[in-house]
Amino acid sequence: MRGAAAKMPTETVSSPTTEADFTLSNYKIPDTALPEFKDMPFEDIEELQLDHPGANDQEYRKRRGYIASLSKRFRETSEIIDVDYTDDEQAIWRHVASKLEVLHQKHASPFYLKAKRDLGITNDRIPQLSAMSRRLTETTGFRLAPIEGLVDTRAFLSWLSYRVMLSTQYIRHTSRPDYTPEPDIVHEIIGHQPMFTNPAFADYSQFVGHGARIANDKQIEELGRLYWFTVEFGLVQHEGEVKAYGAGLLSSFGELEHAFSDNVERRPFDLEQVINHDYTYSDMQPVLYVIPSYAELKEVTKKYIETFQ
């Protein structure tokens, strides 16, 4: 899967969003304190690029539109509607999950592997976001919110401040089960969800969200790069070895194999380097960064976000 399972939402905000001062600390958000989903410009889920595997499949586009409509209803009711996935969709999940499982055992971080088991994520069936959200809330206070399409970087990252991860529910096209040009349910569940049960990683993600709410345009670009090289394409030291924890790696056969090949420069994590490191989302990443621990990533990021004040 060449680069694409972890496409970041495109930045469209031209001026910083100003908010009242709030404490840059980690805290859990009760349901009653969540802001409403509003003024969030979604990309049209049926507007697929010509090189998208499902671009000329009208039934696939119709199906994506239907699943997107369920996500839209969440924004009206705050209740996640389960998707009755078809046999073909379940078959895609089984193919991808089984193939990834082999690579995970070799390259994924031990925390990720345990969390994946604890969440009950298997190769057999597509988990429902409602069940995953409940389990995350029980562990670190994170919750999932289904969305019908991509949103801009500021909006996407800002929801992390409320310990909310925006997630799609549709799945990639059956003709290319090994590839998707945008995040799908495989990327969201297999890639992202296990790591949100790690307390330090969850806190780190919330700090990124805090930063997005108060960042100027330059800082939001920096946060986008930080997110890309950690949450999406991050590597971590573990007992003298390097392991993967980023969702863009863990949900992509090609990216995961590539990350541990001789074609990648694996650098020690350096915040200044990361936030100034441009990337091309559609290319295999030539440089990746290795954090010493999730706790250190959290503390370094907190100090960085404090400079936004």
Are 85 and 170 contacting, i.e. CB atoms less than 8 angstroms apart? no
Catalytic residue among 52, 192, 210, 258: 192
CA distance 148 to 81: 12
Alpha carbon distance, N-terminus to C-terminus of the chain:
39
Which residue in the list 89, 188, 222, 232 is annotated as catalytic?
A: 232
Does the annotation count 69 as an active-site position? no
Active-site residue, selected from the candidate residues 173, 187, 210, 258? 187
What would you report as the CA-atom Rg of the chain, rounded to the nearest whole angstrom? 18
Task: Give dist(CA 232, CA 34) in Å, integer.
Answer: 25
89 is annotated as an active-site residue: no
What would the DSSP string read from start to end of 154-220?
HHHHHGGGGTEEEE------TT-TT--SS--HHIIIIIIGGGGGSHHHHHHHHHHHHHHHH--HHHH
Where does the chain have alpha helices with state H? 58-77, 87-107, 110-118, 129-139, 153-158, 185-186, 199-214, 217-227, 247-250, 253-259, 271-275, 294-306
Burial 131-159 (b: 16+ CB within 10 A, else e): ebbebbeeebbbbbbbbbbbbbbbbbbbb
Amino acid at 250: L
CA atoms within 13 A on the CB side of 270: 8
Determine whether 251 is an active site residue.
yes
> Which two three-digit tokens encode residue 295?
């706790």
Choosing from 133, 158, 167, 251, the catalytic residue is: 251
How many CA atoms are closer than 13 Å to the CA of 152, on its beta-carbon side? 17
The reply to whether 205 belongs to the active site is no
Residue 245 and residue 236 in contact, taking contact as beta carbons nearer than 8 Å: yes
Nearest Cα to 135, choosing from 36, 76, 227, 202?
Answer: 202
Residues with a catalytic annotation lie at 187, 192, 232, 251
